[in-house]
Amino acid sequence: MTINVAILAFEGCTGSSVHGPADLFSIANTIAQQAGHQTKRFKTSILSPGALAGPQQVTTTNGHVILADGNISETTNADIIIVPGIGVNSINDLERRLEDLQPVIDQLKNTTNNKSVITASCTGTFLLAKTGLLDGKRATTTWWLEELFRAKFGKVNLTADQILVDEGQVITSAAGTSYLDLCLHLIGRFAGANMARLCAKYLVIDGGRMSQRAYAAPTHFMRRDKLIERADGWVRAHISEKIRVDALADHLGVGSRTLIRRMHQHLGITPQVFIKQIMMEQAKTLLETTPDTIPSIGCKVGYSDENAFRRSFTAYAGLTPAQYRRRFKTGAHAT
């Protein structure tokens, strides 16, 4: 049986999250053909939200043009619907794009049938959440917009650490290239686990990723705020010390309560969490780029107790320091 896959494409979507899935399903077809299957396992169509049927051009966020195969109304025949990421650089940008995409959201609500498995990756999860189809269900999203997602969609049970969440008829995946994990999961679900493994090997994809915590960076990197930037610089300059919130506030020339309020307002976190994020990110950098021992790295980021450092790092990154180094090291650094 051929599985019909509808990949949505709209103005300002990320091109890779349209073409990437199309490539993966095409490779699955090639592997199936080599194994003796006479019919395609997957038939993919790229559909645009235009009012008219037939091919229409869509410009992606990188400026390249996609020629769609048809209209979004054709998702009524789809077994799988894939919502791509939305190309944005800031929260305000995303808010504007979601307003612009309201017609797509409405069309998606009206055309989705009961048999379709509907999926979304990265910022596309916001578009899917706005349809209401995630209400009462678990979901994940891109790490840098976790707090915004929680604030906007309180009826969704967000488990943002996870790379992928499958709730049966709705599936969401995390940031960036998590659409690869999503498509491998769909290939496994509809064509078997062995087919998914073969596709992963063919494309040299590290399948089986469970958490996006190891890939996340502190959310303040995505903001532009002079006080936060000064705080970041001071913490980095004193990172090997035991940093107190009141000392940070003194350096910034504000009271501790003001600092707490400012960070909650701009970042949604406490100063203690802010400090710890910088310590852990510095530890990541040292693990990736130096041959320093793990106890030495712990000391450099303010931990005199090696075990305490290992516990804190593992809780933050979802990997032990040694596991993180093996996965992300940039040189021949031993564990």
Structure tokens at 54: 């037939």
Domain spanning 3-215, CATH architecture: 3-Layer(aba) Sandwich (3.40)
Q: Chain-wide mean pLDDT for the chain?
A: 89
What is the rounded CA–CA span in Å between residue 146 and residue 158?
A: 8
* Spans of all domains in the chain: 3-215, 219-328
pLDDT tens per residue across span 87-112: 988 888 899 999 999 999 998 887 76
Task: Answer whether residue 278 shows pLDDT above 60.
Answer: yes
Q: What is the pLDDT of residues 5-44, one digit of tens each?
A: 999 999 999 999 999 999 999 999 999 998 888 788 999 9
Helix (H) or strand (E) holding 40: none
pLDDT of residue 73: 79
Q: Please, what CATH class does the domain formed by 219-328 belong to? A: mainly alpha
d(CA 129, CA 331) in angstroms, rounded, equals: 41
CB 162 within 8 A of CB 211: yes
pLDDT of 144-191, one tens digit each? Answer: 888 889 999 999 999 988 999 999 999 999 988 999 999 999 999 999
How many CB atoms are located within 10 Å of the residue 139 CB?
25
Within 8 A by CB and 6+ apart from 116, the residues are 75, 78, 79, 80, 81, 169
Mean pLDDT to the nearest integer, 246-254: 93
Pairing of strands 164-166, 57-59: unpaired
**Whole-Å CA distances, 55 to 11, 47, 49, 203, 209:** 14, 8, 11, 30, 36
Q: CB–CB of 310/296 below 8 Å? A: no
